[in-house]
């Protein structure tokens, strides 16, 4: 077996054999296949696609490159959620303790932000003392004692994916649906959860800009999970507008705590409850009532225990940025559009995100929104506040915002897109 013959097969729109897939993933993980060769193969896959059999074998080969976790010793059924990423997507933070409060165990392996999309671990690291990296033994202990854990995946989990993901990021092949699907599902299947709910974002602030692409990705991942014995369902959710009223690390933690305390923006509450119901149903806990667990404080109790179990102080003050800049409405009327991508780029430029994986992030940086589409605004009214420790970043961030919103004349009718657009099972 050699890399060139594998590349040529996919370049010429052929179907890779199971033996070719097993060999190239293993050889790339060991360093026998060079980065430039895997880059060529990834581009061929982007351009020519893979069928269901190929994607399933590719995913299985990436799982086989590392360890598999086992939660059989837990007394609760396990269920997990994965989001394809967006702007203001803090849903994991209130969702994991909420589902745990309803009787499930939630092993949430999360990642960091890159570019305009935020990362769950970056958000939680704004809590003083909180640790993202814990051992498998610690993870099981936190799950057993609190019902939920949010942490970084260990190096032993699908190492082939970790190496390939970094390569895709610098070779223009991130958008390849077979590679997105296998990347996500190799980690989730290796994680060992019994059920999985996928939150596939669609819109300007998502990787999938169209409903057709989001549907294809969701269907591919649901098939991969189902074929591997994991009960899997996907929701296609809107990412044309930022979720909630914040985009940034500590800002989003603060908003998540508001939701757990019984408040918070309605779209965040609605999506959290929709995903919670899907997770509990998939775990066989159909009679659980997540709305009650949110209202009676039991979800907040799990949050506090979960944060404390990883060294965090749930009562500590969250970081705030040293400088703010207010963006005001340029006219009066009805706000009809607030672009998620533009807001995400502004938050990233303020210091909330990173251009490279090794870049630091500012805990307090980001964008705070004061209006959402459908709201009536007046000229000069604050639309958003920019937060950063480095005021020289304001000009660069503001360049992302001139076309970020539309205001129509007063009285204009407006019908927002639903938060959940489709369900695929």
Residues that are catalytic: 82, 161, 168, 183, 187
366-369 vs 382-388, strand pairing mode: antiparallel
The CA-atom distances, in angstroms, between 133 and each of 111, 148, 159, 345 are: 11, 15, 16, 27
The encoded tokens of residue 254 equal: 């603060």
User: Are the beta carbons of 194 and 232 closer than 8 angstroms?
Assistant: no
The CA-atom distances, in angstroms, between 216 and each of 43, 79, 213, 255 are: 19, 23, 5, 32
Q: What are phi and psi of 388, to 5 degrees?
A: -165, 160
Element containing residue 376 per DSSP (H, E): strand 376-377
25-60 burial, b at 16+ Cβ within 10 Å, e below that, comes to bbbbbeeebeeebbbbbbbbbbeeebeeebbbbbbb
- Enter the DSSP assignment of 15: P
Cα three-residue angle 237-238-239, rounded to 5 degrees = 120
* Length, in residues, of the chain: 425
Spatial distance between the Cα atoms of 84 and 265, rounded to a whole number of angstroms: 21
When computed from its CA atoms, the radius of gyration of the chain, rounded to whole angstroms, is 21
The encoded tokens of residue 221 equal: 């991942």
The encoded tokens of residue 229 equal: 């014995």
Spatial distance between the Cα atoms of 49 and 260, rounded to a whole number of angstroms: 42
Q: What are phi and psi of 339, to 5 degrees?
A: -75, 125
Q: CA nearest 98: which of 236, 257, 253?
A: 257
- CB half-sphere exposure, 214, CA atoms < 13 A: 28
Spatial distance between the Cα atoms of 82 and 105, rounded to a whole number of angstroms: 15
């Amino acid at each position: 077996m050699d890399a060139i013959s594998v590349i040529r097969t996919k370049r010429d729109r052929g179907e890779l054999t199971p033996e070719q897939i097993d060999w190239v993933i293993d050889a790339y993980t060991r360093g026998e296949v060079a980065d430039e060769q895997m880059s060529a193969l990834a581009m061929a896959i982007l351009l020519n696609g893979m069928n269901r059999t190929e994607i399933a074998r590719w995913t299985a080969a990436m799982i086989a490159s590392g360890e598999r976790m086992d939660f059989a010793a837990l007394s609760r059924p396990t269920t997990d959620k994965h989001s394809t990423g967006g702007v203001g997507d803090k849903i994991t933070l209130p969702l994991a303790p909420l589902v745990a409060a309803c009787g499930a165990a939630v092993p949430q392996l999360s990642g960091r932000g890159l570019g305009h999309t935020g990362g769950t671990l970056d958000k939680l690291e704004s809590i003083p003392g909180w640790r993202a990296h814990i051992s498998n033994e610690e993870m099981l202990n936190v799950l057993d004692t609190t019902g939920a854990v949010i942490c970084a995946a260990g190096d032993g989990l699908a190492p082939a994916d970790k190496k390939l993901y970094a390569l895709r990021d610098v070779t223009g092949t991130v958008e390849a649906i077979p590679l997105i699907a296998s990347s996500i599902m190799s980690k989730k299947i290796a994680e060992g959860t019994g059920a999985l709910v996928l939150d596939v974002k669609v819109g300007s602030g998502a990787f999938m800009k169209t409903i057709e692409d989001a549907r294809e990705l969701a269907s591919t991942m649901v098939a991969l999970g189902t074929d591997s014995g994991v009960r899997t369902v996907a929701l296609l959710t809107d990412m044309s507008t930022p979720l909630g009223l914040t985009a940034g690390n500590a800002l989003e933690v603060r908003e998540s705590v508001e939701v757990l305390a019984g408040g918070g923006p309605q779209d965040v509450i609605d999506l959290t409850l929709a995903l919670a119901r899907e997770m509990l149903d998939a775990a066989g806990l159909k009679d659980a009532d997540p709305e009650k667990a949110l209202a009676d404080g039991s979800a907040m109790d799990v949050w506090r225990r979960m944060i404390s179990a990883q060294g965090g102080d749930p009562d500590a003050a969250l970081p705030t940025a040293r400088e703010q800049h207010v963006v005001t409405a340029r006219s009066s009327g009805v706000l009809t559009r607030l672009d998620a991508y533009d807001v995400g780029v502004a938050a990233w430029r303020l210091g909330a995100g990173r251009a490279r994986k090794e870049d630091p992030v500012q805990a307090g940086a980001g964008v705070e929104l004061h209006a959402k589409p459908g709201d009536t605004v007046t000229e000069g009214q604050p639309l958003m506040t920019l937060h950063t420790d480095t005021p020289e970043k304001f000009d660069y961030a503001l360049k992302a915002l001139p076309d970020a919103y539309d205001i129509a004349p007063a009285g204009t009718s407006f019908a927002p897109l639903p938060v959940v657009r489709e369900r695929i099972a």
